């Protein structure tokens, strides 16, 4: 079903996961009140807005369930339309029966994300907030919950509004310049102010775009590579951290050949551990491939656990400034991966090395937003170059308009193509 149908029909869906004690069915659209009222004793049109009522859902003489009906009158509902939420007992039979009754009486089964899409189309939230709803539902730890909550509360939207203000100021200054372009002596009078403003916006966009790396790491797990010579105990450490026998451990050098990944949560943050093949010179083709993967894991990692054991020097690796290296000498009284000695202290070190975010930080977690920021930056760079090259204002305002349009894509302020909307909302669950 196309999630982009018109919004003059009435949709319904189960909003809760099946199998619980209760199941909530959502109904939204112009006929929501009439349809629900025809199945129970609540006159949705008449009752006070935003009230809850105890009633029975009936199919002719069959009492299907005793339930609670919450009535939300437009525009004070999640979707902005007349909406009803029916809290039933969570039986498959009851929920399917109520859904079929709703459909028989004129509702349409909602597509994934269609309630939130309506909320967006009815101006209850912008596009970045709508996306935050999906992130909030998917959040599994404190960090992702916090980022989704901040985005839902309009964090990104207000950041973009500030940028937009500055861009509009730049546009109006350029237009002013154009207005006076007949006056030879006035033309290009003071472009340094324009340039300064453009550079300010550029660093603002850059700052925001750069948070994506952190946002992505926090969302998918901070990549931690376990690296070292063969046999020092890398796989043993992975297993100890995960609390399960995930990787094969043996006293044979070169046991691990493929990179093994798994995530755990420490201190409300998800870490993605990557156990790798021990780095050494080898003629074994498969082991060589594994070592290549170790090197790739090293590139991706934010944190590197560089492991060794007594008598073996730490391997020499190249690291970047954004990577934290934690050195571990295994098989010593202070650290024994096999017996969990020193593991707690290591976990604390990992938590301390994770990127810090505060409630007020605006962090980009969505690839669509990141992509828009990168494109906006490219257009803005053309404006900056143009200003530096004393290009005429009318050429610059074209690029400037593009920056504004691209940034507006993030919040959906600009008319968003249907395919883009469809793509965003199809990743939602049904009922949201």
The 8-class DSSP code of residue 105 comes to T
CB of 213 or CB of 336, closer to ligand GTP: 336
User: Least distance (Å) from ligand GTP to the CB of residue 412?
Assistant: 49
User: Least distance (Å) from ligand GTP to the CB of residue 254?
Assistant: 5
Residues between 324 and 363 with contacts to ligand GTP, criterion CB under 6 A: 330-331, 336-338
278 touches ligand GTP (CB under 6 A): yes
Q: Which positions from 291 to 330 touch ligand GTP by CB under 6 A, shown as an x/- string?
A: ---------------------------------------x
231 touches ligand GTP (CB under 6 A): yes
Distant-in-sequence, close-in-space partners of 168: CB < 8 Å, separation ≥ 6 = 404
Judge residue 110's burial from the number of C-beta atoms within 10 Å of its C-beta, 0-12 exposed, 13-18 middle, 19 or more buried.
Answer: buried
Q: Which one of 210-218, 254-262, 358-366, 416-424 is the stretch in contact with ligand GTP (CB under 6 A)?
A: 254-262
- Partner from Mg ion, ligand GTP, none binding residue 196, C-beta < 5-8 Å depending on class: none
236 touches ligand GTP (CB under 6 A): yes
253 touches ligand GTP (CB under 6 A): yes
User: Least distance (Å) from Mg ion to the CB of residue 319?
Assistant: 21
CA–CA dist 401, 398 (Å, integer): 5
- Partner from ligand GTP, Mg ion, none binding residue 230, C-beta < 5-8 Å depending on class: ligand GTP
The CB density around residue 184, as the number of other CB atoms within 10 Å, is 7
Per-position b or e across 54-74, b if 16+ CB within 10 A of its CB: ebebeeeeeebbebebbbbbb
Judge residue 156's burial from the number of C-beta atoms within 10 Å of its C-beta, 0-12 exposed, 13-18 middle, 19 or more buried.
Answer: buried
Distant-in-sequence, close-in-space partners of 372: CB < 8 Å, separation ≥ 6 = 406, 407, 409, 410
- Partner from Mg ion, ligand GTP, none binding residue 150, C-beta < 5-8 Å depending on class: none
Among 170, 218, 232, 387, binds ligand GTP (CB under 6 A): 232
Residues at the site binding Mg ion, with contacts judged by CB under 5 A: 234-235, 255-256
CB of 106 or CB of 254, closer to ligand GTP: 254
Per-position b or e across 256-290, b if 16+ CB within 10 A of its CB: bbebbbbbbebeebbbbbbbbbbbeebeeeebeeb
CA–CA dist 108, 94 (Å, integer): 18
What is the gyration radius of the CA atoms in the chain, in angstroms?
29
CB of 156 or CB of 307, closer to Mg ion: 307
- Partner from ligand GTP, Mg ion, none binding residue 140, C-beta < 5-8 Å depending on class: none
User: Least distance (Å) from ligand GTP to the CB of residue 256?
Assistant: 3
Number of residues that bind ligand GTP (CB under 6 A): 21
Alpha helices in 301-392 (DSSP H): 343-353, 367-388
In DSSP terms, 23 is beta-bridged to 88
CA–CA dist 228, 280 (Å, integer): 9
CA distances from 390 to 124, 182, 192 (A): 43, 16, 11
User: Least distance (Å) from ligand GTP to the CB of residue 210?
Assistant: 34
Residue nearest to ligand GTP (CB): 278
- For ligand GTP, the binding residues (CB under 6 A) are 230-236, 249-251, 253-256, 277-278, 330-331, 336-338
């Amino acid at each position: 079903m196309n999630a982009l149908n018109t919004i003059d029909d009435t949709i319904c869906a189960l909003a809760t996961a099946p199998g619980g004690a209760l199941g909530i069915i959502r109904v939204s659209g112009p006929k929501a009140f009439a349809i629900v009222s025809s199945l129970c004793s609540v006159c949705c049109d008449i009752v006070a807005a935003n009230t809850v009522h105890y009633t029975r859902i009936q199919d002719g003489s069959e009492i299907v369930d005793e339930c609670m009906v919450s009535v939300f009158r437009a525009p004070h509902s999640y979707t902005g339309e007349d909406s009803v939420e029916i809290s039933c007992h969570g039986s498959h039979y009851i929920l399917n029966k109520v859904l079929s009754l709703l459909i028989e009486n004129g509702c349409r089964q909602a597509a994934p994300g269609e309630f939130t899409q309506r909320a967006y189309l009815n101006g209850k939230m912008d596009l970045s907030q709508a996306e935050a709803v999906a992130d909030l539902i998917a959040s599994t730890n404190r960090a992702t919950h916090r980022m989704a909550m901040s985005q839902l509360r309009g964090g990104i939207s207000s950041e973009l509004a500030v940028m937009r203000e500055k861009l509009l100021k730049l546009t109006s200054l350029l237009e002013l310049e154009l207005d006076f372009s007949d006056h030879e002596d006035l033309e290009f009078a003071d472009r340094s102010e324009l340039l300064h403003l453009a550079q300010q916006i550029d660093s603002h966009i850059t700052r925001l775009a750069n948070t994506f790396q952190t946002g992505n790491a926090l969302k998918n797990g901070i990549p931690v590579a376990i690296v070292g010579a063969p046999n020092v105990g890398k796989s043993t450490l992975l297993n100890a951290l995960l609390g399960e026998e995930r990787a094969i451990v043996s006293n044979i050098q070169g046991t691990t050949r493929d990179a093994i990944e798994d995530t755990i949560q420490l201190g409300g943050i998800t870490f993605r551990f990557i156990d790798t093949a021990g780095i050494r010179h080898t003629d074994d083709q498969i082991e060589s491939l594994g070592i290549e993967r170790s090197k790739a894991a090293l590139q991706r990692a934010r944190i590197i656990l560089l492991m060794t054991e007594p008598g073996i020097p730490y391997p020499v690796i190249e690291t970047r400034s954004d990577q934290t290296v934690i050195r571990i000498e295994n098989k010593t009284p202070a650290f024994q991966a096999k017996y969990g000695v020193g593991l707690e202290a290591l976990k604390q070190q990992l938590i301390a090395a994770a990127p810090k975010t505060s409630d007020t930080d605006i962090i980009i977690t969505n690839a669509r937003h990141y992509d828009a920021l990168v494109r906006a930056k490219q257009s803005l760079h053309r404006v900056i170059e143009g200003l530096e090259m004393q290009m005429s204002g009318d050429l610059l305002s074209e690029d400037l308009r593009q920056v504004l349009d691209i940034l507006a894509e993030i919040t959906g302020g600009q008319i968003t193509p249907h395919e883009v909307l469809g793509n965003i909302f199809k990743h939602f669950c049904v009922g949201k």
